[in-house]
């Protein structure tokens, strides 16, 4: 590898934006911007994690990669390429974690959110879940449909136990201290050891929960809701709210009609 092509990343936890990004077939090809260096910790206030969660198609995913850089664990060269499915999976995993956190906040939909996460990534938790829920068969790390069906039928206490295990296992870098400057300008500051964009995004979602910075998902269409205040908003727009209300109204009318018919036959 030619040293002049190496990315000289200091220990200051920096990443690079992209000058050019192309998605061709199932490959993401990129070129870093040599003036696009930024701090992974300081970027939190610009909410790149929420950008990725809302990148629901390849076009918006490409825009995210151009703005924030490649979704890989290391940057060694100024140009490179990665399998596009890896980028989609990173997005889907981040969204699944956010869905689980939102389900816990709402106290509903826990099983569905846990299963969605486990369909994407069950290997780190599979053996524990099989043992904890008494799922027979080989203690395979990857959960099959039989195991996921058992998760769907967990009792309330089993579900809470499972979700508590999942959220406790989220890999979050530990905070540390860093000396900045020299001489009289020297100061000690807390920082997070974020060495890659994917790990930084996980930390940012966790930080939103820790700092009670609210977010949610529309129960009608699944759109991510980026709250600007701490006041809850259940639906992303009035259309979704009206569809849900109309469906509930139709359900109540059917129920009333059924009860009325039952009473007449007596």
Q: Looking at the domain assignment, is residue 202 inside a domain?
A: no
What is the pTM (predicted TM-score) of this model?
Answer: 0.80
Q: Give CA–CA dist 27/167, Å, rounded.
A: 32
Q: Looking at the domain assignment, is residue 102 inside a domain?
A: yes
The pLDDT > 90 percentage for the chain reads 55
**pLDDT at residue 250, as a whole number:** 75
For the chain, the domain total comes to: 1
**pLDDT per position as a tens digit, 132-161:** 999 876 666 789 999 999 999 999 999 999
**pLDDT per position as a tens digit, 208-253:** 888 887 777 777 676 767 665 545 567 767 777 777 777 777 777 7
Q: Looking at the domain assignment, is residue 182 inside a domain?
A: no
- On whether the CB atoms of residues 1 and 77 are closer than 8 A, the answer is yes
**pLDDT at residue 2, as a whole number:** 43
Q: Looking at the domain assignment, is residue 153 inside a domain?
A: yes
**Full residue range of the structural domain in which residue 140 is found:** 3-168
- For 63, the token pair is 């825009």
Q: Looking at the domain assignment, is residue 18 inside a domain?
A: yes
Q: Per mean pLDDT, which range of 91-100, 182-191, 216-225 is the poorest? A: 216-225
Q: Say yes or no to pLDDT of 55 above 90.
A: yes
Give the residue, 186 or 30, on which the prediction is more confident: 30
Q: Looking at the domain assignment, is residue 250 inside a domain?
A: no
Q: Looking at the domain assignment, is residue 155 inside a domain?
A: yes
Longest dimension (CA), the chain: 92
Q: Looking at the domain assignment, is residue 234 inside a domain?
A: no
Burial class (CB in 10 A: 0-12, 13-18, 19+), 54: middle
**pLDDT per position as a tens digit, 24-51:** 999 999 999 999 999 999 999 999 999 9
Span 95-121, average pLDDT:
94
């Amino acid at each position: 590898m030619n040293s002049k092509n190496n990315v000289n990343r200091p220990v200051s936890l920096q990443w690079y934006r992209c000058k050019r990004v192309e998605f061709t077939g199932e490959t993401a090809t990129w070129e870093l911007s040599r003036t696009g260096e930024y701090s992974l910790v300081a970027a939190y206030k610009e909410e790149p994690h929420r950008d990725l969660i809302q990148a629901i198609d390849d076009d918006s995913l490409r825009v995210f990669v151009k703005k924030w850089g490649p979704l890989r664990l290391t940057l060694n060269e100024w140009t490179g390429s990665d399998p596009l499915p890896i980028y989609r999976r990173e997005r889907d995993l981040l969204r699944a974690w956010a869905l689980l956190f939102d389900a816990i906040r709402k106290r509903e939909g826990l099983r569905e959110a846990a299963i969605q996460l486990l369909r994407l990534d069950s290997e780190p938790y599979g053996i524990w879940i099989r043992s904890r829920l008494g799922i027979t068969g080989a203690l395979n790390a990857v959960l099959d449909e039989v195991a996921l069906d058992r998760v769907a039928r967990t009792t309330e206490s089993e579900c809470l136990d499972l979700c508590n295990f999942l959220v406790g296992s989220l890999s979050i870098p530990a905070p540390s201290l860093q000396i900045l400057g020299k001489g009289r300008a020297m100061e000690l500051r807390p920082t997070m050891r974020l060495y890659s964009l994917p790990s930084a995004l996980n930390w940012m979602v966790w930080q939103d929960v820790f700092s009670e910075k609210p977010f949610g998902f529309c129960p009608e269409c699944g759109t991510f809701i980026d709250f600007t205040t701490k006041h809850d908003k259940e639906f992303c727009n009035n259309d979704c709210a009206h569809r849900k209300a109309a469906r509930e109204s139709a359900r109540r009318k059917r129920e009333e009609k059924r009860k009325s018919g039952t009473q007449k036959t007596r």
